[in-house]
A and B are shown apart, each in its own frame.
Chain A
Amino acid sequence: GQNIDQPTEMTATEGAIVQINCTYQTSGFNGLFWYQQHAGEAPTFLSYNVLDGLEEKGRFSSFLSRSKGYSYLLLKELQMKDSASYLCAVRDSNTDKLIFGTGTRLQVFP
């Protein structure tokens, strides 16, 4: 089976840095994905990690440690528009299914 955990809510200040953690337990692992979802909208793809280490894309970076079943999404130079839910998802290598965590709702304050 699969189990994916994220904090439910986080708050941060405009211009700051925030780290959103995700831990997972799966029977088979074939990649970890981060998505951003604004209220009332569909999720949009942010990043993908399949090997250990850090992937950087502009203000967003994602880290993976497969041995620890752990990932984080790092958001730098926060902007008000970054207020959204951030979803961690894991692809199961046995079934190829994409399983999502419950998401972390981030609120950015001025």
Chain B
Amino acid sequence: SQTIHQWPATLVQPVGSPLSLECTVEGTSNPNLYWYRQAAGRGLQLLFYSVGIGQISSEVPQNLSASRPQDRQFILSSKKLLLSDSGFYLCAWSRESAEAFFGQGTRLTVV
């Protein structure tokens, strides 16, 4: 069976510090991978989308970047965090055209 791991679960970081959130998928190959952000009480905003190694689609201009160094690994990064980067970050995977499955999420608080 397929599983998705996302860590850490919670993170408190000072403004201006770097960020690295990691997501890995097991039990499948060549998944579509997603990073979403959810502000408190709001919907999911698609940040990055990847259909293969090194193929990243950025949805909104922002302070974040994503990389896919391996087939089942998706990394969300920032060089310098802003207060507005606080939120609930969710990694997800799907097979082409099928439903997406989410990791546990990372609650990021920038202070």
Number of interface residues of A (CB under 8 A): 23
**A109 contacts the other chain (Cβ, under 8 Å)?**
no
Interface segment among A57-65, A69-77, A97-105: the answer is: A97-105
Q: Is the CB of A30 within 8 A of B43?
A: no
Residue from B46, B51, B57 in contact with A98 in the complex, judged by beta carbons closer than 8 Å: B46
CA–CA, A43 to B42, complex, Å?
13
CA–CA, A64 to B3, complex, Å?
29
Q: Is the CB of A96 within 8 A of B104?
A: no
Residue from A40, A87, A99 in contact with B46 in the complex, judged by beta carbons closer than 8 Å: A99
Give residues 78-110 of B contacting A (CB, 8 Å): 90, 92, 94, 96-105, 107
Residue from B51, B90, B101, B107 in contact with A96 in the complex, judged by beta carbons closer than 8 Å: B51
CA–CA, A87 to B38, complex, Å?
12
By DSSP majority rule, is chain B's interface helix, strand, loop, or mixed?
Answer: strand
A103 to chain B, nearest CB (A): 5
Residue from B32, B99, B103, B105 in contact with A48 in the complex, judged by beta carbons closer than 8 Å: B99
How many of chain B's residues touch chain A, expressed as a range? 20 to 34
Residue from A31, A45, A87, A91 in contact with B44 in the complex, judged by beta carbons closer than 8 Å: A87
B82 to chain A, nearest CB (A): 23
A106 to chain B, nearest CB (A): 14
A18 to chain B, nearest CB (A): 19
A33 contacts across to B, CB distance below 8 A: 99-100
| A30, A42, A101: most-surrounded residue (chain B CB, <10 A) | A42
In the complex with contacts A42-B104, A42-B105, A100-B36 CB distance below 8 A? yes
Q: Which residue of B lies closest to A33 (CB)?
A: B99
**B49 contacts the other chain (Cβ, under 8 Å)?**
yes
CA–CA, A48 to B107, complex, Å?
28
Having A41-B104, A96-B51, A98-B34, one finds 8 other A-B pairs with CB under 8 Å, namely A33-B100, A45-B101, A96-B32, A96-B97, A98-B94, A98-B100, A100-B36, A102-B42
